[in-house]
Amino acid sequence: MRHHTDVRQAVDGDVAELIRLRALLFETLGNPSSDDQWRDNLAVVLKEQLAADTMRILVVDGGTGLAACGIGIVEQRLPSPRLRNGRLGQVIGVVTDPAHRRRGHSRAIMNGLLDWFRERDVARVDLHASHDAEPLYRELGFVDHPEPALYWRP
């Protein structure tokens, strides 16, 4: 059964639900936290960034709260052969509440984010995919990343 999904940009009143969905994402990925400091920090950043031109937060309403959300950011890096204008997009945390899954919400959010990235002339969009979400992202045109990645934490 195909569902119609209305996607909208998040507003200040969505911050508590965005935090709930982000926590759900981390639990799903096996990275739960009992420390609430990150939630407080996230609330501050979300409130600052909701209207920023470099971040887009899309949501789907679910009746008593949000059914799903997805966040995109645009970062200006130095141009390179693989990043012609240096504009890098990043998809952060597309997540759907379990009670609202299999209705096309993630696809609708991703299509909205990809349109937003195109409007900003982004040269590449990166994301980290869960095993369950990988087929959707591949269907949308995502492929294996060309560069190996490492990270450092001070």
C-alpha span between 134 and 137 (Å, rounded): 5
Q: Is the pLDDT of residue 32 over 70?
A: no
pLDDT for the residue numbered 79: 96
Give buried/exposed letters for 17-44 (b at 16+ CB in 10 A, else e). Answer: bbbbbbbbbeeeeeeeeeeeeeeeeeee
Note the pTM of the prediction, 2 decimals.
Answer: 0.89
Q: Is 84 helix (H, G, I), strand (E, B) or coil?
A: coil
pLDDT for the residue numbered 141: 94
pLDDT for the residue numbered 76: 96
Over residues 7-31, the mean pLDDT reads 90
Q: Is the pLDDT of residue 52 over 80?
A: yes
pLDDT for the residue numbered 4: 65
Go through the domains of the chain in sequence order and give each one's CATH number: 8-139 (3.40.630.30)
Q: How many CA atoms lie within 13 A of 83 on its CB side?
A: 18
What does each C-alpha distance from 101 to 40, 98, 105 come to in angstroms?
27, 5, 7
pLDDT for the residue numbered 49: 92
Q: Is the pLDDT of residue 41 over 90?
A: yes
Q: What confidence category does residue 1 fall into, taking pLDDT thresholds of 50, 70 and 90?
A: very low
Cβ pair 88, 36 in contact under 8 A: no
For the stretch 80-120, pLDDT in tens is: 998 899 999 999 989 999 999 999 999 999 999 999 999 99
